[in-house]
Every structure is written in structure tokens, then in C-alpha cells.
Amino acid sequence: MESGNNTRISEFILLGLSEEELQPLIFGLFLSMYLITVFGNLLIIMAISSDSHLHTPMYFFLSNLSFVDICFTSTTIPKMLWNIQNNNKGITYEGCITQMYFYILFGGLDDILLSVMAYDQYVAICHPLHYTVIMSPQLCGLLVLISWVLVALNSLLHSLMVLRLSFCPEIQIPHFFCELSQLVQLARSDNFLNNIVMYFAAVLMGGGPFAGILYSYSKIVSCIYKISSAQGKYKAFSTCVSHLSVVFLFYFAVLGVYLSSGTTYTSYSSIIASVMYTVVTPMLNPFIYSLRNQDMKQGLKRLYLMSIIKDQLY
């Protein structure tokens, strides 16, 4: 069938989480989780930016991760809340493509930043004497910049590939946001090339960072094993616990999304996996880093004391 979007699509219909009797509960639940996500990650960013003790590569990457998590959640949840509030399930064609672009962008950034943070952990544990030299501000900034460029190009590629597809005049998406694999599967034109690009990009952009995390932690385990004292081993391993927890949570959600993707019917398992990936993981990240990290606890306390002092002065 001829490719190209010859049929003008005015809007897509989002059917995920659309049960009428559950709308008030869903609205309240997702609004609460969204506000907790934004507030928690903003606290992390403010604590890091206001405390000179936290101006290190590790917390520089963490502040970037928190910013990306806010943007990632904001890509899908506000539109869903708006639709529930206005009793409307539609999203425009342009809005759907835009949402898909930013969803891929910030999801990919999450993945790469976790890999960069794993490398930072490796340098800190295995090369502590050269840490400040290796993880220079220039290198940290360059790693973040390269991450943004790579995922932006990847998102642009997928968006352009979807634009070449044609759809039926009225498309119902069995999800609460515009997800790439759903759009590709629902196209009425040939989507073979889209599937090839999608799976190739998933291996490259998903498997690459994951392989980097595995390599970094294999080196970290090797270095910890060489430490003679049990206290030294515990101290070295404890610095990785927060990051490992976030990595496990992130890839557990990604695996759920991958296993439940590719179905063109409403699947509660797919929706639950997507909620874990887009909402729950970004919401829990600040708690994991603040509860397991003494430096972050102190930074948050100093931020709180600064706000009290300012209130007393004014």
C-alpha cells in the first residue's frame, strides 16, 4: 500500500484508563502522583544547586536525572488529566506526534543518564585518587550534551518515520498516551521499515546504556572484591545502593513495557507497566536518593533551614 499520510487525521482517541466509573479515582490518583513527582524532583534540584557540598559530578548527573524525570512525567500525565477533567478522550494528530517525540526523548535520556551515573560510580570506586581529574566539569558537561544530542536525533528519526505512515480517518489507541509501537501497529500503510528502525533503535539506544551499566558494575564488583577490610567493602558498596535501586526499578518497568507492547487491544498489563515506567519510577527516584544518601539528607536539611531563615528575615 502506498506510504505517506494521504488521509488527513484530525485526532486520535485514547482509550486507556477510560472507564467512566473510575474517572474520579484515576484523576485523584494520577494528580497526586504527578504533584509528588514534580515536587520531589524539584526539591532534589534545589538542594543540589543551593548546596556547594553537592556540587560534584554525581549530584550534577542526579540533578539532570531529576529534571528529565519531571519532563518525562509531564509529557503524558497533564494531557491525561486534562482529558479526564473535560470528559474528552481525543488528542490531535500534531499533539500525538509531539507527545510521542518527547516521550521517546526523555525516556531515552533517563536510560543514558543512568549509564553515565554508573560510569561515575565506577571511577569513584575504582580510581578514587584520579576521580576529580577524570570526572572533570568539561567531561561531565560533554557527557550530558552527547546524551541530549543522541536521544534528540533518535526521537526525531522515529517521529519522521511515523509521519510517513497513513492511518484510517478515526484511530483508537488502546493507551492513555501516544506510544510509538501502538501507532506503528495501527497504521494502515506498510510499517515494515518502521518496525526495523524501531527494533534497531531499541537495541542500540536501550541495549547500549544497559551494557554500559553492566560493564561498570562488573568492574565495581571486581574492585570491591579486592578491598581487604569488610568495612571498606561495605562502604564502597553502600555508595552504589541508591543507583542500583533506581536502575533495577527503571529496567523492571522497561521490561514490563517491552513484554506488553505490540498488542493492538486494550491490555491492563500494558497500561500498568506504562504507569510504572512513566509515573511510579520518576516519583520514587527522589525518595530512593534522599532516604539512602546522607549527603542528600544534609542538603535537604540545609535547604529547609535556609527557607526558615528567609521567612524570619522577611
**What distance in Å separates the CA atoms of residue 192 and residue 142, rounded to the nearest whole number?**
36
> Cell 478522550 identifies what position?
89
> What is the reported pLDDT for 142?
97
What are the DSSP calls for 241-309, one per residue?
A: HHHHHHHHHHHHHHHHHHHHTT--S--HHHHHHHHIIIIIHHHHHHHHHHHH-HHHHHHHHHHHHHHHH
User: Residue 73 in 3-state DSSP?
Assistant: helix
The pLDDT tens digits for 196-229 are 999 999 999 989 999 999 999 999 999 999 888 8
Confidence band, pLDDT 50/70/90 cuts, at residue 155? very high
Mean pLDDT of the chain: 88
Confidence band, pLDDT 50/70/90 cuts, at residue 3? very low
Using an 8 Å Cβ cutoff, are 142 and 101 in contact? Answer: no
> What is the reported pLDDT for 174?
84
> What is the reported pLDDT for 15?
86
**What distance in Å separates the CA atoms of residue 94 and residue 9, rounded to the nearest whole number?**
9
Structural domains in the chain plus CATH codes:
11-304 (1.20.1070.10)
> What is the reported pLDDT for 314?
58
- Among 79-83, 207-211, 257-261, 280-284, the least confident range: 257-261
**What distance in Å separates the CA atoms of residue 44 and residue 46, rounded to the nearest whole number?**
6
What is the mean predicted confidence (pLDDT) over 281-290? 90
Select from 252, 251, 268 the least CA-distant residue to 260: 268
- Whether the pLDDT of residue 173 is over 90: the answer is no
